[in-house]
Amino acid sequence: MKKKYLVLGMCLLVMALVFTGCGNNESENAEGEVETWKIAHSETTDTMYDLYANHFADLVEEKSEGRIQVDVYPVGTLGDTGSQVEMLMNGGIQFGIFASGDVGDMFPAVQALSLNFVFSDDDAVNAKVLSEGGATAALDEMFETQNMITYDWFSLGNMQWGSSKSIRTLDDFDGFKMRIMASPIIAANYEAFGASPVPMAFTETYSGLQLKTIEGTEQPINAMEEMKFYEVIDYITMSNHSQMASFMSMNSDFYNGLSDEDKALIEEIKPEMREFAEETLQELMISKLEMINTNKPELEIIELTDAQRQEFIDASLPVRAEIGEFGGDEAERILELLLADVKQFTK
């Protein structure tokens, strides 16, 4: 009987040590254990967001010599964009990649970035405006009030108009049903053209174009190809009217809790991330347009003349003047900074 209890006692001791060891590994991140960070984004795999997230993951894992693993969660994996923003603020994920419009309800001043014809036609200029400019630096300060620290800004490229009819003049927009994000400022942009903006989920845009409930959409060229929108439109007008300004954000508590070594690690790779973002964008713009031309050669690519484009610019100015009505004094300040940034980096 004593032998039976001795064996039982030894078994219980071993089990206790095993479970205690497991608990210590999870809570204390014992030496040798891999630490896991999570990044969520709102696009499918092999898109700009996904390529950016995975390159960041590769660099972090390489620089930490495998001590840190970064898991990437594309669109839908952890819910919609709103859910991802909430998870980031609450610490459910450490990193999130978003378009500026994704946080417009929370930070109305960010709507200044969604105005038409305020950015440059030059992607290289826009990259500097976003990553080094005063406008985004001011927005970063606002984001921090909601437990979000910006890692960096980058661009998905200039927006173009994809449509079922030719768009060359303001008259072509008369009553035109344009799919937009659910944003008051973007709605105002198209109302100024005489169009009828239709707020619609990104994931419903293809069927909306196919069923003719909408007549067009504004997207960067890469999205036109990746989401196969080119299959259900007949024209792409190279308007360069707006910018898909994007940023990767970090949970503040997570970042502030990092060691100096890990903070230095992610700062060290930032220049390489910026170079990667700019080069990848240019590669995608070229390759995606070539794919569209190959897969649907009958689709017409429209290049606006200077006079045609100026007509749209002039029609946009009243909306620019009313930005304070949409985002308050802060939005006016962001717009002023943004215009100054574009001027500075265009030189």
Cα(30)–Cα(40) distance, rounded to whole angstroms? 26
Q: Domain for residue 339, yes or no?
A: yes
Q: Domain for residue 216, yes or no?
A: yes
Cα(328)–Cα(108) distance, rounded to whole angstroms? 8
Judged against a pLDDT cut of 80, whether residue 22 lies above it is answered with no
pLDDT band at 165 (very low <50, low <70, confident <90, very high): very high
Cα(72)–Cα(287) distance, rounded to whole angstroms? 24
pLDDT band at 237 (very low <50, low <70, confident <90, very high): very high
* Structure-derived torsion over alpha carbons of residues 111, 114, 115, 121, reported in degrees to the nearest 10: 150
Q: Domain for residue 13, yes or no?
A: no
Residue 79 confidence (pLDDT): 83
Q: Domain for residue 85, yes or no?
A: yes
Most confident of 27-41, 96-110, 255-269: 255-269
Q: Domain for residue 27, yes or no?
A: no
Residue 30 confidence (pLDDT): 54
Tally of domains in the chain: 1
Residue 31 confidence (pLDDT): 62
Residue 29 confidence (pLDDT): 52
Q: Domain for residue 22, yes or no?
A: no
Judged against a pLDDT cut of 90, whether residue 23 lies above it is answered with no
Q: Domain for residue 30, yes or no?
A: no
- pTM for the full model? 0.86
Mean pLDDT of the chain: 90
Judged against a pLDDT cut of 50, whether residue 170 lies above it is answered with yes
* Structure-derived torsion over alpha carbons of residues 221, 226, 230, 233, reported in degrees to the nearest 10: -90
Q: Summarize pLDDT for 79-122 with one digit per residue, the tens.
A: 888 899 999 999 999 999 999 988 988 999 999 999 999 999 89
For 82, 84, 85, 250, 335, the CA distances from 91, given in Å and listed in that order, are 14, 10, 10, 9, 31
Residue 6 confidence (pLDDT): 37
Which range of residues forms the domain containing residue 92?
35-346
Place of tokens 């954000």: 249
Cα(50)–Cα(72) distance, rounded to whole angstroms? 8
281 versus 101: which is more confidently predicted?
Answer: 281
Least confident of 25-34, 72-81, 102-111, 230-239: 25-34
Q: What is the mean pLDDT of residues 282-308?
A: 97
Provide DSSP, 66-103. TSEEEEEE-TBBTB-HHHHHHHHHHTSSSEEEEEGGGG
Residue 86 confidence (pLDDT): 95
Q: Summarize pLDDT for 45-78 with one digit per residue, the tens.
A: 889 999 999 999 999 999 999 999 999 999 878 9
CB of 312 closer than 8 Å to CB of 94:
no
Which CATH number covers residue 293?
3.40.190.170
Q: Domain for residue 246, yes or no?
A: yes
Cα(69)–Cα(328) distance, rounded to whole angstroms? 41
Judged against a pLDDT cut of 50, whether residue 2 lies above it is answered with no
